[in-house]
Structure 1
């Protein structure tokens, strides 16, 4: 009985002794393992930052229109005798497009030319008689009025005759032909369209807050879904004198040289106005660590990750322009940031890009 009680008393002491012995034997090895783990470099990705020239672009959507665009119509009502163009023809200024029946107008001009010659002859005769006072001055003035009236009538008839021949008022590309020979047309009938697309103008809106930054001849680039691999370059040609009170935006126009005739009137274009350019160090946006109102990056120096505060100048489509805090050529960690702390030993995976 006494041995049993003694065993109960010694048993807890034996357990405690066993635990202390295990801790003693295990702790040095565990500490060594922790030390080894702590000294193992963390694998990260990094980039070498460089100084680059960047532009601040203002993006908008615009609609294109031709430099000149009209509907060709006739000033006179008559039958079409000849049509000198086909759908989509490129024409020069003054090129004849349509001829109307002009026989009556030609006869009227010829008759007035004869009458004018006769009025001229009578005026010359009365002028000579007036020198010898053989005729009254009132007859001379009356004849002069007849001569001048005939001149006006001839000029009017000549204009009407010219209007029977319809010509291109400027060079450009014709649209669909809407008439045929023998048709009777009036001034209300559309004959075709004519567009001068040697220069394409694009109208778009710019927010009011950028008004002070807009200047004539600023560089404007544009992209079209029709030509995804082509960037068109133009200039800002007009800034409206008024701001739309409903949208608080200012209408502007950009002009693009269109020698290749790729752009057409009515196309939707994505426009980019280059507001300014600057030189700055760029880092990927994912490398930035925001802490309250401050921003930091990890810079790899001598195999260690050092946290440095930076000042952001501008955010640009996945890149951040740095105003202060970095120097060209430094390595900035971009991946593995959550695994490191200031002073952590790191190893850059592969070559820094």
Structure 2
């Protein structure tokens, strides 16, 4: 009896399954069920618009000065005068330090007197050489003596000039490490001088972007010291070598720093702009991938969902740029796509 009742139920089960399948695959927007209109499926949608988008590469860089030196003296002596304070802003040619130079000034004065007398002797021998052959050897010796004194005088003048230390370029001085009366030589760091009117930032870019890198590309930088400010610069150097360990290329960006906000040694968050373009942009969650193709559901004028094949241009930060398959102003469904099919009646919520 149980065996026979099981056979009798089998056709009934098949009919029920067919009915359920027909109900599930029947578009919600077609026909009526039990004399009542099928309700629209609630979904969320995004209006397609053409937007400007920027493709960037993010990195971290360390700031350094455009020019930076340790200020030292070429000569060794005691400091007679100091003309700067800690952290002073100086111009190229400003006097910074004066060493004691009285000895050099006296040497120059003595050499000038001696040279004048030797030149007089040289001129006398030149006159004698015109009539006396024996005076020619003396003339050559005197000429060599004059040349030697002239060179000695020029060397002393150079030494005297080096007794004064000048700023070699515009910049910001650091801490003063010496005082009047201090003895300095060419290894004594008097202070530091940094040209920070331009700040350079070195950062690494993955090797795969090498072909896209160009001088002059725009670079944005942010610092934790100024969280509300974005600094804008340009790529000024691209290293010709690839780092074998990191498979990246070092890029340098230069930033105008007239307000001196950026300082050497700062850690900066860098965004290198690789491309800027206008495109139709939709949320990435609206894309339905199937094998090697991509689709979206749009809402037509009758409030029905219609499936459309689209071509993806690029992806970035949860958004997708579409270059084929959509038009500006259309609405693409972003949530509820699993509940609908092409032709389903939908109602946009939110």
How big is the shift at 1:67? 0.8
**2:115 corresponds to:** 116
User: 1:303, 1:347 within 8 Å by CA — same for their partners in 2?
Assistant: yes
Provide the residue aligned with 1:201 in structure 2: 200
Provide the residue aligned with 1:348 in structure 2.
348
Deviation, 1:274, is: 2.1
Partners of 1:99 and 1:166 within 8 A in 2: yes
Q: TM-score, normalised by structure 2?
A: 0.85
How many angstroms apart in 2 are the aligned matches of 1:35 and 1:247?
69
Q: Distance in 2 between matches of 1:35 and 1:58?
A: 59
Give the CA deviation at 1:279.
2.7
- CA distance in 2 between partners of 1:160 and 1:304 (Å): 92
With 92-101 and 205-214 compared, the bigger mean Cα shift is at 205-214
Equivalent residues in 2 for 1:10-49, closer than 5 Å: 36=36, 39-49=38-48
Question: Taking structure 1 as reference, are residues 35 and 240 closer, same or farther at Cα in structure 2, changes over 3 Å only?
Answer: farther
Alpha-carbon distance between aligned partners in 2 of 1:312 and 1:337, rounded to the nearest angstrom:
19
C-alpha distance in 2 between matches for 1:34 and 1:136: 140
Q: Which residue in 1 is equivalent to 2:306?
A: 306
Match of 1:337 in 2: 337
User: Counterpart of 2:80?
Assistant: 81
Partner of 1:324: 324
1:87-106, CA deviations, whole angstroms, 9 ceiling, x for partnerless residues?
11110111111111112122
Residue 21 of structure 1: aligned partner = none
Q: How far is the alpha carbon of 1:271 from its aligned partner?
A: 2.0
Q: 1:262 and 2:261 equivalent?
A: yes
Shift of 1:56: 2.1
Check 1:32–1:144 CA distance in 2 against 1; reply closer, same or farther (3 A cut).
closer
SS at match of 1:190: coil
Q: Runs of at least 4 residues of structure 1 off by over 6 A?
A: 31-35
Would you say the 8 A contact 2:32–2:38 is kept in 1? no
Gaps of 5+ in 2: 1-30
In 1, the alpha carbon distance for the partners of 2:162 and 2:248 equals 44
Within 1, Cα distance between the matches of 2:255 and 2:265?
14
Which structure's CA Rg is the greater one? 1
How many residues are matched? 319
1:275 is displaced (CA, Å) by: 2.0
Aligned equivalent of 1:24: none
Whole-angstrom distance in 2 between the partners of 1:260 and 1:61: 22
Alignment pair present for 1:55 and 2:54: yes
Partner of 2:222: 223
SS in 1 for 2:242: coil
Deviations 1:213-252 (A, max 9, x none): 2222222222222222222222211112222222222222
Secondary structure at the counterpart of residue 332 of structure 2? strand
Task: Tell me if structure 2 keeps the 8 A contact 1:308–1:325.
Answer: yes
Structural RMSD (CA) = 2.0
The question of whether the paired residues in 1 share the 8 Å contact of 2:56 and 2:271 is answered with: yes
- Separation in 2, partners of 1:187, 1:234: 37
Sort the Cα spacing of 1:34 and 1:131 in 2 relative to 1 into closer, same or farther, 3 A. farther
Q: Distance in 2 between matches of 1:157 and 1:71?
A: 25
**Would the aligned equivalents of 2:78 and 2:181 in 1 still touch at CA under 8 Å?**
yes
| Separation (CA, whole Å) in 1 of partners of 2:250 and 2:242 | 7
Q: Tell me the equivalent position of 1:190.
A: 189
The CA deviation string for residues 184-237 of structure 1, in whole angstroms up to 9 with x for no partner, is 122221111101111111111222222222222222222222222222222211
Any conservation in 2 of the 1:282–1:319 contact (CA below 8 Å)? yes
In structure 2, what is the equivalent of residue 64 of structure 1? 63
Mean Cα displacement is larger for which, 198-207 or 169-178?
198-207
Deviations 1:273-294 (A, max 9, x none): 2222333210112222233433
Aligned equivalent of 2:89: 90
Kept in 1: contact 2:288–2:294 (CA 8 A): yes
Following superposition, the deviation at residue 162 of structure 1 comes to 1.2
Shift of 1:320: 0.8
The 1-side partners of 2:101 and 2:210 are apart by: 55
Rounded to whole Å, the distance in 2 between the matches of 1:240 and 1:342 is 53
Secondary structure of 2:98's aligned partner: strand
